[in-house]
Amino acid sequence: MTSTAAPPTETPRTAEPQPQPRPQPHGDRRFGLPVATCLVMGNIIGGGIFLLPASVAPFGTISLVAFAVLTLGAVALALVFGRLARRHPQTGGPYVYARAAFGDFAGFLAAWSYWITTWVSNAALAVAAVGYLGVLFPAIGAHKWSMCLAALVVQWLPALANLAGTRYVGAVQLVATVLKFAPLLLVAVGGLLFFDPANLGPFRATDQTAVGAVSASAAILLFSYLGVESAAVSAGEVRDPARNVGRATILGTVGAATVYLLGTLAVFGLVAHDTLVSSQAPFTDAVNAMFGGTWGGTVVACAAVVSMVGALNGWTLLSAQTPYAAAKDGLFPKVFETKKRGVPVVGVVVTVVLASALTVYNYTAGSEGVFEILVLVTTFTATVPYLLSTAAQLYFLLSGRSERVDRGRLVRDGVLAGLAFAFSMWLVAGSGYAAVYQGVLFLFAGVAVYAVLAARRRRATVPPAG
């Protein structure tokens, strides 16, 4: 379906032909701009938005400043992905860009770290969804095994939608995004009609300096924008990727940022600051403040479940796309190259099995600490492809690769790439020492895998001596 990435060997100053997508099999349907945009928005906004206002309330309304700064960084990163996708419109996203700029090993690290991020995050999303399901169906939360079973069902339903083909993935993503945003927009937009400035509380609610308060609240919010690369990773499944991937990435990121900012601001103005600081369900409290009664909990729980199922649907697809692209280049086991109905089926199955195993381990061992550490690791591993992608863009801009650079936009693209790289470094810093330490161990484990695969490729391409 898609072409392989450009070879890592460089031919300075000479225009090389751009890779052309392979003809699509009969009946294979790819995403248009609306579904690609929903994929980005759905993956950025999982279930975290339903807790974010309460998480940053202790810092005061200055946390909205942190939101604004992070939004600028995320948009810069989205623009860089859009520029890179225009030149490399193939499935794999960051893997393709890193390999084209720095060679096989960098490409493998991008693919390996991104794959770890997806399947561990899927397990975390499923476990979080069970908490909201418990509100709708109290019997689920009665025993750890019923909770475990519910978490597995939440993971396998999106996987089955993926295995059915890309058109079903797109349909689920579109419906989930619409159902998710209806209640969120109700609070984000409708809540402004009930906005009471007296509820806002202090601008700076801690003894920290303004810079310290912004940094502290940003550390909580940093990972709210993971997923901006979603359309780029699935570029091979998007119609006219050179045109639509960049648009979907920017539209999806800006749309998610708008919902984040308006939703948080509305909750700040609907729920008294002292109540919001200790709230376990800030959007529930906001809906109750708007309309009275206690039915808000059910509405928010339904929205949260739909939100996370939609996010799982999109992340399951992404978890298979990067290994698929790497497998086509011999940098992942060849079995990951298997594709049916437009979906890398082996990647989907392996990913959901690993996520399911981690979920079962979490419930049986009761090792919440271990699970939380693994989730924190994903916040670091997700930034590795970001750093490599932004570094690849800087490399193309500064190395004289004329066939990859729009000279009329050189300065603008350079500034955007620098901002996106700084944003990615901020994500790494926000992960914390423990997460970075554990994440580096995960990356080094991948080095052994790369060594085995590289040796096999060498034996396959070099005839025996004599």
Query: How does pLDDT run across 190-218, given as a tens digit for each residue?
Result: 888 888 888 888 888 888 888 778 877 77
Phi, psi of 343 (to 5 degrees): -120, 135
Residue 129 to residue 149: CA distance in whole angstroms: 12
As separate numbers, helices (DSSP H) first and strands (DSSP E) second, the chain gives 18, 0
Cβ atoms within 10 Å of 402's Cβ, excluding its own: 13
Q: What angle in degrees, to the nearest 10, is found between the helix axes of 144-163 and 104-136?
A: 130
Q: How many residues does the chain have?
A: 466
78: region left, alpha or beta (phi > 0 left; psi from -120 to 50 alpha): alpha
Q: Which residues contact 8 (CB under 8 A, 6 or more apart)?
A: 99, 100, 101, 102, 103, 104, 107
For residue 343, give the 3-state DSSP assignment. Answer: strand
pTM confidence score: 0.76
Q: What share of the chain has pLDDT > 90, as a percent?
A: 6
Q: Average pLDDT for residues 390-394, to the nearest whole number?
A: 90
Residue with more model confidence, 235 or 443: 443
Residue 274 clears pLDDT 90, i.e. is over it? no
Residue 132 clears pLDDT 90, i.e. is over it? no
Q: Nearest 5 degrees, angle CA 403-CA 405-CA 411?
A: 160
Average per-residue pLDDT for the chain: 79
The string of pLDDT tens digits covering residues 295-348 is: 766 777 787 788 788 788 878 887 888 888 888 888 888 889 888 877 788 888
Q: Average pLDDT for residues 41-63, to the nearest whole number?
A: 79
Residue 101 to residue 7: CA distance in whole angstroms: 9
Placement of tokens 């939004």 in the chain: 71
* C-alpha Rg value of the chain to the nearest Å: 22
Amino acid at 134: G
Confidence of residue 30 (pLDDT cuts 50, 70, 90): low
Residue 89 clears pLDDT 50, i.e. is over it? yes
Amino acid at 79: L
